[in-house]
């Protein structure tokens, strides 16, 4: 298969790589660019563990071809902490014991971040809707819902 150049912004940094044509964004991020925060769970769009944000929208990186992201701005969980300070969502998940094995957590966080970017003060129903495409096997979801609501509150306190 022909290798194709692909250039995009990953967590604020310009990246340019050659990838195999037809390779998924998940594969390109993990195996070519060394960002292993998106996880390959089902690899067919049913579990949400690979979720990333592409140009402000939540996307399943296992169903997205890397070459379709030319010129895009991509955010992953690996880019959330800034100078060693956790993102409010990460902080709330740690403090609220909302991760156990941690495999779903990066995708869960990106789904929640997409929600909070668009809806800074979500209701419980908004949070449930936002994470309903992400499977968690450990927590029973309630701690995650609470963590997202806590992060939203801490964000709005900072803004206020």
Residue number with CB closer to another protein (64 or 139)? 139
Q: E-strand spans in 22-143?
A: 51-54, 57-60, 73-75
Residues 45-104 that bind another protein (CB under 8 A): 46-47, 97, 100-103
Residue number with CB closer to another protein (6 or 99)? 99
Contacting residue, 44, 71, 83, 159, with another protein by CB under 8 A: 44
User: Does residue 142 touch another protein according to CB under 8 A?
Assistant: yes
Name residues whose C-beta falls within 8 Å of residue 63's C-beta, 6 or more positions apart in sequence: 24, 44, 45
Residues that bind another protein (rule: CB under 8 A) add up to a total of 25
Q: Given the structure tokens 């592409």, which residue do they identify?
A: 54
CB 8 within 8 A of CB 73: yes
- For residue 117, give the 3-state DSSP assignment: helix
Residues that bind another protein (CB under 8 A): 41-42, 44, 46-47, 97, 100-103, 127-129, 131-132, 135, 137-145
């Amino acid at each position: 298969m022909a290798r194709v150049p692909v250039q995009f912004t990953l967590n604020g940094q310009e990246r340019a790589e050659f990838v195999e044509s037809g390779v998924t964004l998940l594969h390109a991020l993990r195996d070519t660019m060394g960002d292993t925060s998106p996880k390959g769970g089902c690899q067919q769009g049913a579990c949400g563990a690979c979720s990333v944000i592409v140009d402000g929208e939540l996307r399943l990186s296992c169903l997205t071809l890397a070459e379709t992201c030319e010129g895009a701005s991509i955010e992953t969980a690996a880019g959330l902490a800034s100078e060693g300070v956790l993102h409010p969502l990460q902080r709330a998940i740690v403090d609220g014991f909302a991760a156990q094995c941690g495999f779903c957590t990066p995708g869960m966080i990106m789904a929640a971040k997409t929600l909070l970017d668009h809806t800074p003060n979500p209701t419980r129903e908004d949070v449930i809707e936002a994470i309903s495409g992400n499977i968690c096997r450990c927590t029973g979801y309630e701690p995650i819902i609470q963590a997202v609501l806590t992060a939203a509150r801490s964000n709005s306190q900072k803004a206020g």
